[in-house]
């Protein structure tokens, strides 16, 4: 994979696709992690005196202009962090924005409006992508969190750049780092290698367990609704607990493919509606023992309903156990990251992915369209 470090950049015009999709409420950014993660690439390009067209999306405006999802707050934050004025374009491909892109000076940044205000973005539209290039000589992909999406700024634009030879296509520093970390954990895990999977979305988690065990991981520890599915196929009485009925068959097939390697909770905490809401103390102890011996730990998904204090224990204790282990750890998932922030443990992990869905698809062994282009 070629990165910004491999090519000549001095004073070139760059199209930088960043992953600055942060939660914004009433003009205020609630969580800046994704912006901070993208700063090294921006600084690198500024050092090379590049003329930078910066583009990203916020939220799901679904092809319409939604003022509350405008890029203004992110622009202001970037300006604060980089200590420089930053121009904001009125749109992405309109003539006024084109003129601003043309007029960029070395070391200048022009931020385009939310890419998803245009239907062409999510439709991966080639005509939109061609206009979006805005005369850039280099396309830099630094939005790891969208590499699983076939969208114009992820697939059509870099593909057009490559095929037309109008611009070079390279990865930014964040994409390089995330892809390397996840690849190393998956393909060359130090043993024992343990994957911890919790959370609610069974259909996205089962493939991760399957792929990592097939890649040679030694054990999978499960919690959350994912664990309920395993307990259900084992015939346990789950009363009114959430079970993903549509994925019981794949759960059973997985259980049979890896006898003894998938570890399920021995005890659970229940809420008053007779639902399992967390793993119990014996399970915490058992999982902690396995985690303590691990050399590689991949973790996604809270082990219980951590949003409610009485059911946060399981997730917090497992997070602490992972930190205490002398293992390379890789952590990700939207809600998992929220849990870590709640416990104030976020900064202590080796690697926390900025992508939720994309990390799961990567670890499930699926091909990511946006990454494939960078590797071709």
Q: Select from 13-21, 22-30, 117-125, 329-337 the region that touches ligand ADP (CB under 6 A).
A: 329-337
251 binds ligand ADP (CB under 6 A): no
Q: Which of residues 193-232 bind ligand ADP (CB under 6 A)?
A: 198-201, 224-225
Site for Mg ion contains 334 (CB under 5 A): yes
Q: Per the structure block, which two tokens stand in for 155?
A: 């697939």
- Nearest Cα neighbor of 20 from 61, 73, 62, 82 is 73
CB of 303 to ligand ADP, least distance (A): 6
From 335, 358, 371, 373, residue interacting with Mg ion (rule: CB under 5 A):
335
Binding residues for ligand ADP restricted to 262-321, rule: CB under 6 A: 276-277, 300-302, 304-305, 307
Cα end-to-end distance, the chain, whole Å = 8
Question: What residues from 345 to 364 belong to the interface with ligand ADP (CB under 6 A)?
Answer: 356
Measured CA distances, 2 to 140, 165, 170 (Å): 10, 16, 5
CB of 302 to Mg ion, least distance (A): 9
d(CA 152, CA 160): 10
Closer to Mg ion by CB, 280 or 333: give it: 333
Does 73 sit near Mg ion (CB under 5 A)? no
The bridge status of strand 219-222 relative to strand 262-263 is parallel
Q: Which stretch binds Mg ion (CB under 5 A): 74-82, 97-105, 220-228, 330-338?
A: 330-338
Q: Per rule CB under 6 A, is residue 335 in the interface with ligand ADP?
A: yes
State the binding string over 278-317 for Mg ion (x if CB under 5 A, else -).
----------------------------------------
Q: Which two tokens stand for residue 372?
A: 């494939």
Radius of gyration of the chain (CA): 22
Looking at the Cβ atoms of 134 and 330, the one nearer to Mg ion is 330
Go through the chain and tell me how many residues it has.
376
Q: How many residues bind ligand ADP (CB under 6 A)?
A: 20
Q: Which residues contact 304 (CB under 8 A, 6 or more apart)?
A: 198, 223, 224, 269, 277, 278, 279, 311, 312, 313, 314, 315
Whether 74 and 36 have beta carbons less than 8 Å apart is answered as no
What is the rounded CA–CA span in Å between residue 228 and residue 199?
A: 10
Among 40, 135, 192, 334, binds ligand ADP (CB under 6 A): 334
Q: Which residues, other chains included, contact 195 with Cβ-Cβ below 8 Å and sequence gap of 6+? A: 208, 209, 212, 213, 217, 219, 220, 221, 297, 298, 299
Nearer to ligand ADP, 256 or 273 (CB): 273
Residue 228 beta carbon to ligand ADP: minimum distance, rounded to whole angstroms: 6
Residues that bind ligand ADP (CB under 6 A): 198-201, 224-225, 242, 276-277, 300-302, 304-305, 307, 333-336, 356
Residues that bind Mg ion (CB under 5 A): 334-335
């Amino acid at each position: 994979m070629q990165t910004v470090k491999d090519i000549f950049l001095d004073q070139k015009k760059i199209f930088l696709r960043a992953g600055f999709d942060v939660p914004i409420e009433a003009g205020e950014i609630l969580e800046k992690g994704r912006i901070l993660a993208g700063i090294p690439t921006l600084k690198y390009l500024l050092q090379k005196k590049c003329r930078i067209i910066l583009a990203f999306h916020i939220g799901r405006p679904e092809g319409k202009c939604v003022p509350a999802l405008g890029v203004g707050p992110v622009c202001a934050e970037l300006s604060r962090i980089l200590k420089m004025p930053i121009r904001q374009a009125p749109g992405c491909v309109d003539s006024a924005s084109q003129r601003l892109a043309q007029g960029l000076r070395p070391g200048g940044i022009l931020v385009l409006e939310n890419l998803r205000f245009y239907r062409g973005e999510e439709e991966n539209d080639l005509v939109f992508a061609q206009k979006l290039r805005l005369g850039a000589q280099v396309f830099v992909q630094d939005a790891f969190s969208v590499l699983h999406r076939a969208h114009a700024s992820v697939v059509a634009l870099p593909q057009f750049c490559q095929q037309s030879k109008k611009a070079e296509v390279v990865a930014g520093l964040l994409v390089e780092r995330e892809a390397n970390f996840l690849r190393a954990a998956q393909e060359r895990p130090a043993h024992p290698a343990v994957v911890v999977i919790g959370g609610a979305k069974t259909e996205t988690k089962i493939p991760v367990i399957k792929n990592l065990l097939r890649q040679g991981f030694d054990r999978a520890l499960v919690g959350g609704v994912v664990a309920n599915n395993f307990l259900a196929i084992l015939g346990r009485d789950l009363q009114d607990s959430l079970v993903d009925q549509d994925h019981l068959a794949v759960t059973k097939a997985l259980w049979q493919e890896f006898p003894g390697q998938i570890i399920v909770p021995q005890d659970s905490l229940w809420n008053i509606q007779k639902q399992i809401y967390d793993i119990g103390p014996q399970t915490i102890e058992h999982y902690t023992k396995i985690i303590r011996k691990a050399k590689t730990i991949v973790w996604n998904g809270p082990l219980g309903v951590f949003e409610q204090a009485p059911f946060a224990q399981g997730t917090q204790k497992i997070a602490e156990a992972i930190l205490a282990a002398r293992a390379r750890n890789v952590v990700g998932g939207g809600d998992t990251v929220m849990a870590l922030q709640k416990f104030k443990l976020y900064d202590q992990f080796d690697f926390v992915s900025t992508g939720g869905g994309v990390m799961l698809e990567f670890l499930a062994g699926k091909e990511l369209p946006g990454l494939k282009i960078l590797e071709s």
